[in-house]
Structure formats: structure tokens, C-alpha cells
Amino acid sequence: MPKALFIDAQGGEYELDVPVGQTLMEAATDAMLDGIIGECGGVMSCATCHVYVDQNWLGKLQPADDIEESMLDVAREPKDNSRLSCQITMSEELDGIVVHMPRSQF
């Protein structure tokens, strides 16, 4: 099963098994990972699943659409590599993806 590595703001690392087809937000909330809230359940209306995608993985993702870009504008401390984890669907190609969680989602 593909894996994703979540790194929190203090450097703690959490490797999760993520089934193909599941979003990173779903995997994180299923594992009750602190730092990913996913308040809206993945419908892009809250930005509480915001992550920073490691630069080595950005090119493997589909570009953010206009709605995701709008939500990232309201995320706390957005960066060029910010994405909503509800919009990153696990695939075999993403096995090993590394994402960093912000200090806070609010």
C-alpha cells in the first residue's frame, strides 16, 4: 500500500498507509493525526487540511484548480507549495509523498 509522510511543525514524522483513491486528508483524519482537521469533509470550503507539499513531489500533482486556489488564499500562512490535502488523491505514483503541516490551521 502506498505511504505518505506527514511532518508536523515541530518536526514530528508520521508515516501513514494510504489506499489508492483515498485523499491525504481522509487518511490523516482517519488516523486522527493532529494538524489536519478537514472540518468541511473535503468539499473545499474551509482550508483546514492545508499542507505544504515537499518540492520533490509538486510536479507529480495535478495543478490546483481555481476553487482550491481561492481556498488557499484564506489558509493560514500559505506558500508557493501550499495545497489542500483533500485535493491530493493517493496513487501508486505518489507512494512516499512528503507533506508538511502548518503550525496551525486557523
What CATH number is associated with residue 62?
3.10.20.30
19 found inside a domain: yes
The pLDDT of 47-54, averaged and rounded, is: 97
pTM score of the predicted model: 0.95
57 found inside a domain: yes
Band (pLDDT 50/70/90 cuts) for residue 106 is confident
The pLDDT of 43-62, averaged and rounded, is: 96
105 found inside a domain: no
37 found inside a domain: yes
* Residue 37, pLDDT above cutoff 90: yes
Range of the domain at 73: 3-100
74 found inside a domain: yes
Structural domain total, the chain: 1
26 found inside a domain: yes
Sign for the CA dihedral angle at 5, 8, 12, 14 comes to: negative
106 found inside a domain: no
